Amino acid sequence: MPVLVMKFGGTSVATLDRIRRAAKRVGVEVAKGYDVIVIVSAMSGETNKLVGYVEETSPLFDAREYDAVVSSGENVTAGLMALTLQEMDIPARSWQGWQVPVKTTSAHSSARIEEIPSDNILRKFAEGMKVAVVAGFQGVSPEGRITTLGRGGSDTTAVAFAAAFDAERCDIYTDVDGVYTTDPRICEKARKLDRISFEEMLELASLGAKVLQTRSVELAMRYKVKLRVLSSFEEMSDEGGTLVCDEEDIMESKVVAGVAFSRDEAKMTLVTIEDRPGIAAAIFGTLADAGVNVDMIVQNVSELNYKGHVGGVTDMTFSCPVNQVARAEKALDDAKAAGILNFDKLESERDVAKVSVVGIGMRSAAGVAAKMFKVLSDENINIQVITTSEIKISVLIERKYMELAVQALHDAFDLDKAA
């Protein structure tokens, strides 16, 4: 029998009624002849509640026990889904991560999947089981401890199962009906895409689009897993949602596929730091050791004197999540005190946002950057930092202009119209 993977997010299983609704969707696929692997998240709000219990009990908690607690939400949902399917006379059973087993690294709360042996579930399929309901977000370490994959980890679980079982497709059911050209809450002209390439989806996910977890898209691209993003609240349709697939499976695409944004950004600048080989490694090694996720980086050449040498100093600017500014400040100040770094001052700005245009068509089209910068200039929006890749251009701007920038760029690239 062909295998289909179906993943239901927290809002899709938030109540018993919604679990029943999701189970009916599973039943439709079983009736088509699929053996189905269902990946479930915890019921909406449950993980936050469990995290709160841990933090209230032990502010400096043991990460192993943290995983033991927060993974329990998915176990509840898996059991309830299996029971619901059984009431519908569909042979189903629930599986926790350790029972499959989903083998992961030992990095608690941010583990990575290393292997998913298929023998146990395939044997049960051969014995007549039609649906394996697997608790997402969790696995088991080499030491035999429960691990979790980080927020959004159920998406990664689903794609990993699709790859391990050579599934025909991986359907991700959520509270939106697909991938849009930008956030419809920001731009009312946003249009749902029928198809989007893995590369474009990966960029959009990494730049702030909340539809899919970045790691899940990376896995899908690596193992060529076809992903379909669907709403669990709309009528079922074989043509519904957005298909995330290879570039070759898209007949024609626009130069720019979408506009992404992230409002939770901060800009930090090290003023008057030595301009010498190894200085960038010292700065960003220090930040990496402190767990700071650096994004955009710009080095500004300075002509100021440093210890009597013209051109011996520079300014280094980078962006990071706004909730990591304090951690970055402490790490850099400690490095200065230890003599690892020598700079005049550290400036932090917390009122910035990142806006990006993404599209595989940018590989062969000239003038995208010029058009983007002209649009922002016409709106009197100053660009503070620019970074580019083969299919992406990102800028850092004042946060108060973020929505205006998104709307203006969406209009300028005619994203409300199909290719």
Q: Any binding-site annotation on 185?
A: yes
Q: Is 123 annotated as a binding residue?
A: no
* DSSP-assigned letter for residue 363: G
Helices (H), 132-290: 153-164, 198-206, 214-223, 279-289
Q: Is 174 annotated as a binding residue?
A: yes
Question: Is 7 assigned to a binding site?
Answer: yes
Query: Number of C-alpha atoms within 13 angstroms, CB side, residue 60?
Result: 0
Q: Is 210 annotated as a binding residue?
A: yes
The answer to whether 175 is annotated as binding is yes
The dihedral built from the CA positions of residue 71, 72, 77 and 78, taken in this order, carries a sign that is positive
Determine if residue 56 is labeled as part of a ligand binding site: no
> In sequence order, what DSSP letters do the residues of 246-308 get, joined into one string?
-GGG-S---S--EEEEEEEEEEEEEEEEE-STTHHHHHHHHHHHTT-----EEEEE---EETT
Tokens (6 digits) for 407: 């709307």
Q: Is 10 annotated as a binding residue?
A: yes
> In the block, which residue shows the tokens 């100040």?
333
247 is in an annotated binding site: no
Return the SS3 of 364. coil
**Strand 131-135, strand 92-95: pairing:** parallel
- Running DSSP on this structure, what letter comes out for residue 143? T
Annotated binding residue 100: no
Binding-site residues for ATP: 7-10, 174-175, 180, 185, 210-211
Binding-site residues: 7-10, 47, 74, 174-175, 180, 185, 210-211
Binding-site residues for substrate: 47, 74
